[in-house]
Chains A and B, each alone.
Chain A
Amino acid sequence: MTSATTSRPVRAPRAHARSAAPTLPRPGVAWAAPGLVFFLLFAVVPMGGALYLSLTHWDGLSAPQFAGLDNWSRFLGDHQVWQSTLVTGVLLLGNIVVQAPISILLGVWSAGRQRNRAVLSAIFFLPLLLSTAATAVMWRQLLDPNFGIPSKFSWLFGAADPLGTQQGAITCLVLVTSWQFIPFHSLLYQGAARAIPETLYQAAAIDGAGRVRQFMHITLPQLRNTIITSTTFMVVGGLTAFDIVLLLTNGGPGTDTSILPFSMYQTAFRTYDYGYASTIASFLLLLATAASILLTKLSGYDKMTSTLEGL
């Protein structure tokens, strides 16, 4: 009780003093010019182009024909697009649910300074060095029902047809993507876990907290910002990654794993309907922007509060 009442008057003036301190002038806009020009040229301009093309019919050979909202009204009535959106969402969630916990545990574990952990981490991080194309081609062979993994463990898989059903194909996509990207997210968590001050754990140990409690009450809260960063990467990455789908399932069986970026690619470069492909691209852009804004707002990430405040 006493400590609470005494601390209040002490804290208030301190906070006041901090805000009253003379602030440095913000750096001039010129410093941002190189980045802004780059962003304008390679992000904003193409986005504008895509938005314009979404209002046209264009086969890539003759000049684009202005079509008003034709593509957009077709888009709203397109059953296939909504199925693609759903599959995109399922893949996204699946990826987060599988990758996040494993990455956190692996990252925190590998943050330890022991020699064996360093050696094993180096091995765990190996998939990070492979390109998605190599990963997909390798896994396509590994998943072969006659010569791959399923054939060696037939007691477990039976007459498996991993890529021949929707559930199977989605599971394979999630597992292969996780295999490829868990190392990246683990690396993020490893760095963040190493930045947690040792004193917090020492204090907790004195108070009698065990390993699990330390993890739940110190490590996890301290990793909050990293969790948000990593999840944002997963969401935005998941909304834009189509290479693995193209190479592993080609949207199949049928159109069961035809996620939005993939159907965009197929519409543009297989059926040469650049107008409609741009419509899908624009929708994807809106979706990704909305998702990342939502994520930063919900998590309070935009306020950028440090987890080290008060130390």
Chain B
Amino acid sequence: MNRVSRRGLLAVTAVTALSVTMAACGSSNSSGTASTSTGNVSFWTLQDPTNSVQQAAVDSFNSGGQGKVSMSVITTDGYKDKLRIAMGSSGMPGMFFNWGGGSLNDYVKAGKLVTLDPALKSHFLPSALAAGTVDGKLVGLPIRGTQPVFLFYNKKVFTAAGVQPPKTYADLTSLVQTFKSKGITPFALAGSGTSAWTELMWVEYLVDRLGGPGLFQKIQAGDWSQWKDPAVLKSAQMIKDLVDSGAFGTSFGSVNYGSGGTSTLLAKGKAAMVLMGSWEYATQQTDDPNFAKNDLGYVAFPSVDGGKGDPNDVVGNPTNYLSVTTTAAKDTAAAFLKTTYSDSYVQGLVEKGEVPVTSNAASLLAKAPDPSYAMFQYDLVRNAPAFTQSWDQALGLTLGTPLLTEIQKLFNGQSSPAQFVSAVVALKH
């Protein structure tokens, strides 16, 4: 969910011009078979604060004599576009950072990825590996921390109102009334066109709590008719009720995500809560370190009475993954994969505030900048019977993009819950 807020600016000719160059590249790509066993492996990664940890791992690996890994750091904007285009050409990287789920689906189908050794699984938390597995084959190995979604709240606002964070959905709806009567927006929600993915989190949690994680697993596996499950309609109805009751305020359709938007609303006490991924903590820390330290509270998403889902389930980004393509020198890549769960790499991540999903992470979390926050996330993920990956990531962009549009229409009241369900069902032709 590391969202791209600004995409590369492509004029109308870009599509036409690009398509032609890609067509030219595409034809020279018939020989994508595995090469020699050791050698030089290119590694594409996303620009983020953990790059220095990755670079250190690469440097120490390169001095080990098992071949060389050359790391390229690519900015968030357009990373997916660049990767997609490269994967259809001869310029395919040997290893690359990715979000798992649906994005890997296409690459597996096109025969671009190498199946990894199942023995590697023992080094990671099971719930984090699901999104790196396609058709039962392990194709992505966790290389970053986990990013579950949960509720953040402003402790000061809660103390002033004399209330506790919600444990059940009934608590949640009564809190909506409490804060509304005080002129505080109960939940900050970024509903502007570029932020529809924050609305998705609500739908994911409600569907999970009502219908259990199995429902979306079936959808992801290809049974699109599962959208007709009553749990989906009921979730949509609950969203409508929340919107109508003013849970998100009246102007959320123009509110943006992050600084200057939802994060500032929460920090300034104009909103009481926000449902967001674990990275919200880092955003608050950058914007307002005092608020992050003293008044930022966090709690799991409440249970919903009568639902089939386990209240311990979480949604979000299980983690980010490292995948190996058929062009990589096999032995070098295999040897490099071992660094992803080495103590030094995991500790490096922990020091950057990440919560790694390796089995050795628990003992290292004491070194985190805020150990209690790190342990909260680690336990949340470890105790979760199911960790549902963000739907748009899990389904891939082809289905995820129009799904986000439909969710936005539901929140905006442009479509009714019933219209929402039929529109989503119609997305897959």
Q: Does B63 have its Cβ within 8 Å of any Cβ on chain A?
A: no
Complex: chain A residue closest to B270, CB-CB: A146
Chain B residue numbers with a CB within 8 Å of A45 are 20
Which stretch from B152-160, B258-266, B280-288 is at the chain A interface? Answer: B258-266
State which of A150, A164, A277 has its C-beta within 8 Å of the C-beta of B412. A164
State which of A63, A240, A269 has its C-beta within 8 Å of the C-beta of B12. A240
* A284 & B12 in contact (Cβ 8 Å cutoff): yes
Which of B16, B409, B412 is most buried by chain A, counting CB atoms within 10 A of its CB? B16
Mark contacts of A109-134 with chain B using CB atoms, 8 A cut-off: 1 yes-contact digit, 0 otherwise: 00000000000000000000001110
Given known A-B contacts A140-B192, A270-B397, A270-B401, A253 and B253 have beta carbons under 8 A apart: yes
**Complex Cα–Cα for A275 and B191 (A):** 31
State which of B15, B191, B194, B264 has its C-beta within 8 Å of the C-beta of A50. B15
Q: Does B67 have its Cβ within 8 Å of any Cβ on chain A?
A: no
**Complex Cα–Cα for A83 and B332 (A):** 52
* B11 & A47 in contact (Cβ 8 Å cutoff): no
Count of A residues near B, CB < 8 Å?
A: 66
* A164 & B252 in contact (Cβ 8 Å cutoff): yes
Given known A-B contacts A61-B106, A253-B412, A271-B397, A264 and B15 have beta carbons under 8 A apart: yes
Q: Does A31 have its Cβ within 8 Å of any Cβ on chain B?
A: no
Chain B residue numbers with a CB within 8 Å of A178 are none
* B17 & A42 in contact (Cβ 8 Å cutoff): yes
| Interface residue tally on B, bucketed by range | 35 or more
Mark contacts of B104-146 with chain A using CB atoms, 8 A cut-off: 1 yes-contact digit, 0 otherwise: 0011001010000000000000000000000000000000000
Mark contacts of A151-172 with chain B using CB atoms, 8 A cut-off: 1 yes-contact digit, 0 otherwise: 0000000011111110011000
Complex: chain B residue closest to A63, CB-CB: B26
Mark contacts of B9-27 with chain A using CB atoms, 8 A cut-off: 1 yes-contact digit, 0 otherwise: 1111101110110110011
**B247-289 with Cβ < 8 A to chain A:** 250-256, 260-261, 264-265, 270
* A64 & B193 in contact (Cβ 8 Å cutoff): no
Q: Does A249 have its Cβ within 8 Å of any Cβ on chain B?
A: yes
Q: Does A183 have its Cβ within 8 Å of any Cβ on chain B?
A: no
Complex: chain B residue closest to A260, CB-CB: B12
**Complex Cα–Cα for A52 and B327 (A):** 30
Q: Does B88 have its Cβ within 8 Å of any Cβ on chain A?
A: yes
**Complex Cα–Cα for A266 and B256 (A):** 20
Q: Does A254 have its Cβ within 8 Å of any Cβ on chain B?
A: yes
* B193 & A249 in contact (Cβ 8 Å cutoff): yes
Q: Does A278 have its Cβ within 8 Å of any Cβ on chain B?
A: yes
Given known A-B contacts A165-B253, A254-B409, A270-B401, A278 and B15 have beta carbons under 8 A apart: yes
* B193 & A133 in contact (Cβ 8 Å cutoff): no
Count of A-B residue pairs with CB < 8 Å:
171
Rounded to whole Å, the gap between the CB of A164 and the closest CB of chain B is: 2
How would you classify the secondary structure of chain B's contact residues: helix, strand, loop or mixed? helix
Q: Does B402 have its Cβ within 8 Å of any Cβ on chain A?
A: yes
* A49 & B19 in contact (Cβ 8 Å cutoff): yes
Complex: chain A residue closest to B407, CB-CB: A254
* A144 & B260 in contact (Cβ 8 Å cutoff): yes
Q: Does A107 have its Cβ within 8 Å of any Cβ on chain B?
A: no
Rounded to whole Å, the gap between the CB of B192 and the closest CB of chain A is: 5
Complex: chain A residue closest to B402, CB-CB: A271
* A163 & B253 in contact (Cβ 8 Å cutoff): yes
State which of A133, A160, A272 has its C-beta within 8 Å of the C-beta of B6. A133
Which stretch from B79-87, B202-210, B229-237, B297-305 is at the chain A interface? Answer: B79-87
Rounded to whole Å, the gap between the CB of B329 and the closest CB of chain A is: 22
Given known A-B contacts A49-B23, A265-B15, A271 and B401 have beta carbons under 8 A apart: yes
Chain A residue numbers with a CB within 8 Å of B402 are 271
**Complex Cα–Cα for A265 and B409 (A):** 20
Q: Does B182 have its Cβ within 8 Å of any Cβ on chain A?
A: no
* A140 & B12 in contact (Cβ 8 Å cutoff): no
Q: Does A274 have its Cβ within 8 Å of any Cβ on chain B?
A: yes
Which of A43, A143, A146, A253 is most buried by chain B, counting CB atoms within 10 A of its CB? A146
* A250 & B194 in contact (Cβ 8 Å cutoff): yes
**Complex Cα–Cα for A47 and B264 (A):** 46
Chain A residue numbers with a CB within 8 Å of B253 are 161, 163-165, 253
Rounded to whole Å, the gap between the CB of B370 and the closest CB of chain A is: 27
Q: Does B347 have its Cβ within 8 Å of any Cβ on chain A?
A: no
Q: Does A268 have its Cβ within 8 Å of any Cβ on chain B?
A: yes
* B19 & A251 in contact (Cβ 8 Å cutoff): no
Q: Does B390 have its Cβ within 8 Å of any Cβ on chain A?
A: no
State which of B6, B196, B252 has its C-beta within 8 Å of the C-beta of A247. B6
Complex: chain A residue closest to B78, CB-CB: A269
**Complex Cα–Cα for A288 and B22 (A):** 25
Given known A-B contacts A60-B84, A161-B253, A266-B401, A132 and B408 have beta carbons under 8 A apart: no
* B16 & A281 in contact (Cβ 8 Å cutoff): yes
Rounded to whole Å, the gap between the CB of A269 and the closest CB of chain B is: 6
**Complex Cα–Cα for A59 and B196 (A):** 25
Chain A residue numbers with a CB within 8 Å of B27 are 63
Chain B residue numbers with a CB within 8 Å of A268 are 15, 19
**Complex Cα–Cα for A164 and B412 (A):** 7
**Complex Cα–Cα for A144 and B261 (A):** 7
**Complex Cα–Cα for A305 and B222 (A):** 64
Chain B residue numbers with a CB within 8 Å of A239 are 12
* A61 & B251 in contact (Cβ 8 Å cutoff): no
Q: Does A289 have its Cβ within 8 Å of any Cβ on chain B?
A: no
Of the A-B pairs whose beta carbons lie under 8 Å apart in the complex, a sample of 30, sorted by A's number, is A46-B16, A50-B19, A53-B19, A61-B107, A62-B110, A132-B9, A144-B255, A144-B260, A145-B255, A146-B261, A159-B250, A160-B254, A161-B250, A163-B192, A243-B9, A246-B9, A247-B7, A251-B405, A252-B192, A253-B193, A253-B408, A254-B408, A257-B193, A270-B397, A271-B397, A272-B398, A274-B15, A274-B22, A278-B16, A281-B12
| A-to-B contact residues, CB < 8 Å | 42-43, 45-47, 49-50, 53, 59-64, 131-133, 137, 140-141, 143-147, 150, 159-165, 168-169, 239-240, 242-243, 246-257, 261, 264-266, 268-274, 277-278, 281, 284
Further pairs besides A64-B23, A164-B412, A252-B193: 11, Cβ < 8 Å: A45-B20, A63-B26, A64-B26, A133-B6, A146-B265, A161-B250, A163-B193, A250-B194, A253-B409, A254-B406, A261-B12
| B-to-A contact residues, CB < 8 Å | 6-7, 9-13, 15-17, 19-20, 22-23, 26-27, 81, 84-85, 87-88, 106-107, 110, 112, 191-194, 196, 250-256, 260-261, 264-265, 270, 397-398, 401-402, 405-406, 408-409, 412, 414-415
